[in-house]
Structure 1
Amino acid sequence: MAEKKKLKIAVLMGGESAERDVSLATGAGVIAGFRQAGHEAIGIDTALGAGQLSGPETTETPLIKEKPPDSKELSAYSGETTIRTVSSPDLRLVDLVFVALHGGMGENGTIQALLDLLKIPYTGSGVLASAIAMDKLAAKKVVSASGIPTPDCIVRDSKDLTDEDMLIEAVKESVGFPVVVKPNDQGSS
C-alpha cells in the first residue's frame, strides 16, 4: 500500500470581520485535526500580515469571547492586510489552503477569487457560490427559484431601522413573530 503524502496546509483564520474570534477557534480546531492526521498545518491570521509561515507555531486554542469585537478593535485590522497576507509568496509554498475565515472577505468570495487567481488550491466553495451564499437575499432567490421552499422574509436597510414601532408593524404584517434577524451580507455565527 502506498504511503500517504504528508501535506503542508495553511489554515486561513482570524481576519478582520466581527466573527474574528469564532474564526480563530475554528482554525485552531482544524489545525489540531490536520496535525492529528499526520499533516503539517500552519495557522495564518490574515489580519496580522505576511511572514507567518516561518513564524512561531501555537497549539493554543483561542477562546471565543462573550461579545464580538467592537468596531474600535476591528479598526486595528485592515482588509488590505488580509489581501497582502493571502497574496504573499509564502502562501504559494503550501499544498493546500483551508479557509477557516468567518464573515467578510473569507466568506464573500474575495479570498476565493484571490486564491483562484494565484492558482493556490483551497477547500470550500468557489467564488460564485461564496458570493451568493454570503448575500442571504440572493441565496434565498436562487434556492426559491430551484423550487425549494424557504421561510418568508423581509429585508430592511440599516438606515430604515430608526423607527422601532414601524419595524415591528412591518414584521407583524409580513412574516409574523417569532423571527430570526440576521445581517444580509455578514456571517451568521
Structure 2
Amino acid sequence: MSQKNLIVAFGGVSPEHEVSVLTAIQAISALESSSYQIIPLYITKSGRWLTGEHLLELSNYKDLPTLERKTEDCAFVKDENGKTFLKEQNVSGLFSKPKNFPVYAVLCAFHGSEGENGAFQGVCEMMNIPYTGSSVLGSSLGMDKVKAKLVAAANGIPVTKSVNFYESDWVEEQDGIINVVEDFDYPLIVKPVSLGSSIGVAIANDRTELTEAVETAFRYDAHLLIEEAVNPLMEINCSVIGTPDDCKPSVCERPLGKTETLSFEDKYQSGEGAEKGMASADREIPAQISDKLTTKIQDMSVKIFSVLGASGLARLDFLINSNTEEVYFNEINTIPGSFSFYLWEKTDLNFTQLMEELIQIAVKQHREKNGRVRSYDTNLLSEKALKGLKGLKGTK
C-alpha cells in the first residue's frame, strides 16, 4: 500500500515565522517513523509557496536565500475529477518534471497572521482537503483576542476589564482612551489584538510607559487591547484536544519566566536549546495548584474550546489571582507553539501519538462534512427558468 501524503504547512507572512518553522520541524521529527510521506509546504516571509526535501532540515533555515533557491514553487491544484494535489511549478532543468503529490491531509503548523487566522484554512476548505486544527470561524475567533473574550464572557467565562481601539482611535482620542484605562489602575497590559508569542505585549506602570507601549504595539497590529493587570498574578495554561462536541483537557501547567507575564524571550529563548520552541521554556507540569483549581481550569478550557468552535488542538491561557484563586480567561491559541506536546506527554499521549490523533480528527471531520449534502440540484439555469428571471434584470 502506497504511503499517504501528509502536507506539513508552515512559515508564512508573520512576525511568528521562525516560531512556526520550529513547530513544524518538531512535528516532522515526531512523524518520521509514521506511515505518512511528509511533504513540506513552506510559505516564505514574502508569501511564496515552496516545497522540497531541503525544507525538512532545520539547519538549512540559517540561510534563507540559499534555501529558497534549492526548493520548488508549488500550489494546490485540482484534476478533472476534483482530486487535490500539491503540484510543483516552474521546475528548472531540461529533463526535470514537476511532481504531483495527492493530498491525504494538511498538518497546519503556522503561528499568527494568515496561517492561523482562518485564511489558510479557507484555502483548504475551497480545495476540499482535510486540515488539522480549527475551522475558518474557530481560527479567526481564536486569533482575535477581543472577539474571543466577548464570546467567552457571553457564555459566563470571567475576563479582565479591558479597552480595545484602532490606530485611528488613538490618533483622535488618545487622552480619552488613557483616562478610561487609568480607572483600572496601573500596572496595565498592552497587547496587539491579533498576534501571539507575546510579541508586542508590554506592561505599563505609568502614563509614559503606557504611551510608549501603545506606540510600539502599533508596529505589529492596527488593533490594540489594554487590560487591567491581575495582582498578584499566576499564569496557568491547559490544552484541549478534540471537536466542539467531544473534547478533553490535558494537565495544567504553570509557565515560569523572569516575571509572571511571559515575554517572547521567556517562551522561546530560555532554558536549554531554543530550537525546541515552546518546549524550551521553563514550566511546572503539572502545575502545583489545588485539585479544585485544576478541575475548574480544565472545565473552563473545555467550555471555551467548545463555544469558540475550536477543533483539533488548542491551548487555553488563564490569569489567576494567586491570593483569591479567581480565574480569568486570557486567550486561546488554536495552533500552540510545539503543539503543546509537553502537556500531553504528562497526560496520556506522546508527541507522535498526539500528531496521529490530530490528523485523524481532521480526516474524520472532513469525511463527515463530505457525507452531508453539499450541492442542491435545481433547474434554475434551464431555459425556462432563465426566461422567468428576465424580469429581474436591473433590479437589486
Contact 2:10 2:41 in 1 (8 A): yes
SS in 2 for 1:156: strand
SS in 1 for 2:86: helix
TM score, norm. by length of structure 1:
0.72
1:172 to 182, 186, 194: 182
Q: What amino acid sits opposite 1:21 in the alignment? A: E
Contact 1:21 1:63 in 2 (8 A): no
Paired position in structure 1 for 2:195: 187
Equivalent positions of 1:1-189 (< 5 A) are 6-47=3-44, 49-50=48-49, 52=51, 54-60=52-58, 87-88=76-77, 89-90=85-86, 93-161=102-170, 168-173=178-183, 175-184=184-193, 186-189=194-197
Higher relative contact order (CA 8 A, sep 6+): 1
| TM superposition shift of 1:15 | 0.6
Contact 2:54 2:60 in 1 (8 A): no
Contact 2:49 2:74 in 1 (8 A): yes
**Residues 149/56 of structure 1: CA separation in 2 closer, same or farther (3 Å cut):** same
RMSD over equivalenced CA pairs, Å: 3.0
Q: What amino acid sits opposite 2:182 in the alignment? A: K
Q: What amino acid sits opposite 1:157 in the alignment? A: Y
The CA distance in 2 between the partners of 1:10 and 1:108, in whole Å, is 19
Contact 1:28 1:61 in 2 (8 A): no
Contact 2:14 2:111 in 1 (8 A): yes
SS in 1 for 2:6: strand
TM score, norm. by length of structure 2:
0.37
Q: What amino acid sits opposite 2:86 in the alignment? A: D
| TM superposition shift of 1:58 | 2.7
The CA distance in 2 between the partners of 1:157 and 1:50, in whole Å, is 31
Q: What amino acid sits opposite 1:180 in the alignment? A: I
Paired position in structure 2 for 1:69: none
Contact 1:51 1:90 in 2 (8 A): no
Contact 1:96 1:120 in 2 (8 A): yes
SS in 1 for 2:32: helix
Higher fraction of strand? 2
| TM superposition shift of 1:42 | 2.6
**Residues 86/178 of structure 1: CA separation in 2 closer, same or farther (3 Å cut):** farther
SS in 1 for 2:57: coil
| TM superposition shift of 1:140 | 1.0
CA deviations on 1:79-131 (whole Å, 9 max, x unpaired) are: xxxxx955344166221111111111111111111101101110000011111
Equivalenced residues, count: 164
Contact 1:46 1:86 in 2 (8 A): no
**Residues 35/179 of structure 1: CA separation in 2 closer, same or farther (3 Å cut):** farther
Paired position in structure 2 for 1:73: none
SS in 2 for 1:45: strand
- In structure 1, the gaps of 5 or more residues are 65-83
Paired position in structure 2 for 1:71: none
Larger radius of gyration: 2
